[in-house]
Amino acid sequence: MRLANRILRNFFLSLTASLGLVIFLGVAPASAHNSLDSSNPVDGSTLDVAPTTWSLMFKKELPLASATAELVGSDGVRVALAPPTYGATTNAIVFSLPPNLTGVNTARWRLVGVDGHVISGRVAFTVNALAAPSEPLATVEGAPQSTQTTIQVPQSTQTTIQVPQLSVDDYFIEPFPQLPRHVFRFINYGALLILIGLLFVELDIATGVLGLAVAKKTMRIASVLLATSAVLQMMIFSADLSSTSFLGSIGSLSAILETTPGSMLIMKSIIGCLIGLISFRRKIEQTIHQTSWLIPGLLFLYLITLAYTGHSRSQRWAIFGVPTDVAHTAAAGVWLGGLLVLLGIVNQNVSPLQAVQALRRFGSAAKISVITLVVTGSFQTMRLHDDPWSIFTSNHGQLLVVKLLAFGGMLIFAN
């Protein structure tokens, strides 16, 4: 009995640390994998001639339809720039600027990358060009001089209206705050891990666990959270793409079908809703065994859409990105989701000895899962960083190093 309690306690401590670390690092805001490489005009430059176009070069290809920009002139007037065109490559875009710019101007750009992430920036430049002097009037010799008559016009009373000064950033606000984005991503990822864990335990470790009321309730809550967060993420992406408010994005859903992340987000939402409908069947455990391919197949499709809406296609060797990401998330679901189900549900409804036996059966799968996490995580790290040393110098790379070290510790523990 003491051995059983000690094993359960160790597993619980490992689960708490691992689940928190993996979910936190897995959904933490990563640096955008596409970024601005150069701008013409250059940020901070001073020009003698007013530019007519504004060229932006990015490190990676970008969807033209998602790019928008605005210009705040020296008079503080905001001007929305016309949709851009591609430059020499699909990595470059060109905006037309208003004519006769003078003084200090600030241009803001914003776009949705191929990985579905919003990136933005601004470029400020000064134009010293002066307005051309007006030509003098021609005079004709011998012409009679006109008589000038001065008329006194009473001065009108001037009324000054105070207009609040807005910063440049006030002109270019994202339609949805960042914090809810991360919360929805956290909920979506956590619910997915729970569903994978429940399915794995039911099919491989403790058949009949979904017959328990607490397991059914857990599955239904997780499926509702999965579907709801997917729909909300789809609406946020639509708002980003169309530069509208969150509620206004409903009328722009058709536009996101033109992008790969958008179409995958729609599929992701539909699949999440289907999983939710199935989870509310009265005898879900019988449904899973009678149609053993249904929910695993839907979860597999969900993992594919999740990979397409992440960074898997925006890095090197994109053809390997999606399957690697699917394997990585599935392994996390088996290891962390399965362990949570064993400790939170199975352990509470069987004897300690039976719980230990279930955990031991789980051990072989856990080893494979952790090895998969380490291998796929290392591979994704190599794909992300062209320069190996950037792993230690960039914030995203340092987070990946911590994650890999944590997985290494999990591998030792699993062994």
The answer to whether residue 333 sits within a structural domain is yes
* 219 and 104 within one domain: no
Q: What pTM did the predictor assign?
A: 0.70
Q: Of 65, 81, 112, which residue constitutes the final position of a domain?
A: 112
* 19 and 71 within one domain: no
Q: In terms of residue numbers, what domain contains 378?
A: 2-32+176-414
Number of structural domains the chain divides into: 2
Which of 183-192, 230-239, 313-322, 360-369 bottoms out in mean pLDDT, i.e. has the lowest?
Answer: 313-322
* 83 and 185 within one domain: no
The answer to whether residue 386 sits within a structural domain is yes
The answer to whether residue 219 sits within a structural domain is yes
The answer to whether residue 66 sits within a structural domain is yes
Buried b (16+ CB within 10 A) or exposed e, 77-115: eeeebeebeeeeeebbbebebeeebeeebbbbbbbbbbb
* 192 and 263 within one domain: yes
Could you give the CA distance from residue 273 to residue 228 in angstroms, rounded to a whole number? 8
* 8 and 97 within one domain: no
Answer yes or no: are the C-beta atoms of 88 and 58 closer than 8 Å.
no
Buried b (16+ CB within 10 A) or exposed e, 175-206: bbeeeebeebbbbbbbbbbbbbbbbbbbbebb
Could you give the CA distance from residue 43 to residue 48 in angstroms, rounded to a whole number? 15
* 189 and 64 within one domain: no
- SS3 call for 136: coil
Answer yes or no: are the C-beta atoms of 210 and 288 closer than 8 Å.
yes
For 281-309, how does the pLDDT look when each residue is reduced to its tens digit (9 = 90+)? Answer: 767 766 666 776 888 899 999 999 998 88
The answer to whether residue 46 sits within a structural domain is yes
For the chain, percent of residues with pLDDT exceeding 90: 29
* 308 and 374 within one domain: yes
CATH number of the domain bearing residue 106: 2.60.40.1220
Give the per-residue pLDDT at 227.
Answer: 96
The answer to whether residue 308 sits within a structural domain is yes
Give the per-residue pLDDT at 392.
Answer: 66
Give the per-residue pLDDT at 385.
Answer: 66
Give the per-residue pLDDT at 268.
Answer: 95
* 72 and 16 within one domain: no
What is the mean predicted confidence (pLDDT) over 10-33? 48
The answer to whether residue 242 sits within a structural domain is yes
Give the per-residue pLDDT at 393.
Answer: 64
Give the per-residue pLDDT at 390.
Answer: 62
Which of 34-43, 136-145, 284-293 bottoms out in mean pLDDT, i.e. has the lowest?
Answer: 136-145
What residues contact 295, with CB distance under 8 A and at least 6 apart? Answer: 199, 275, 278, 288
In the structure encoding, which two tokens stand for residue 119, read together? 């990136």
For 165-215, how does the pLDDT look when each residue is reduced to its tens digit (9 = 90+)? Answer: 444 444 454 557 778 888 999 999 999 999 999 999 988 888 888 888 899
* 402 and 268 within one domain: yes
Q: Which residue has the higher pLDDT, 230 or 207?
A: 230
- Binning pLDDT at 50, 70 and 90, where does residue 62 land? confident
* 80 and 17 within one domain: no
Answer yes or no: are the C-beta atoms of 262 and 238 closer than 8 Å.
yes
Which of 17-21, 234-238, 340-344, 406-410 bottoms out in mean pLDDT, i.e. has the lowest?
Answer: 17-21
Q: Which residue has the higher pLDDT, 221 or 169?
A: 221
The answer to whether residue 120 sits within a structural domain is no
One-letter amino acid for residue 296 of the chain: P
For 323-333, how does the pLDDT look when each residue is reduced to its tens digit (9 = 90+)? Answer: 999 999 999 99
Give the per-residue pLDDT at 134.
Answer: 44
Q: Of 93, 112, 131, which residue constitutes the final position of a domain?
A: 112
In the structure encoding, which two tokens stand for residue 174, read together? 């994202």
Give the per-residue pLDDT at 90.
Answer: 86
Could you give the CA distance from residue 203 to residue 208 in angstroms, rounded to a whole number? 9
For 380-401, how does the pLDDT look when each residue is reduced to its tens digit (9 = 90+)? Answer: 777 776 666 666 666 666 666 6
Of 333, 342, 337, 335, nearest to 8 (Cα)? Answer: 342
Q: Please, where are the H alpha helices in 86-209?
A: 178-200
Query: Residue written as tokens 């879900």?
Result: 284
Is the predicted pLDDT of residue 357 greater than 90, yes or no? no
* 362 and 231 within one domain: yes
Query: Residue written as tokens 């990136």?
Result: 119
Q: Of 112, 143, 163, which residue constitutes the final position of a domain?
A: 112
Average pLDDT, the chain: 77
* 82 and 23 within one domain: no
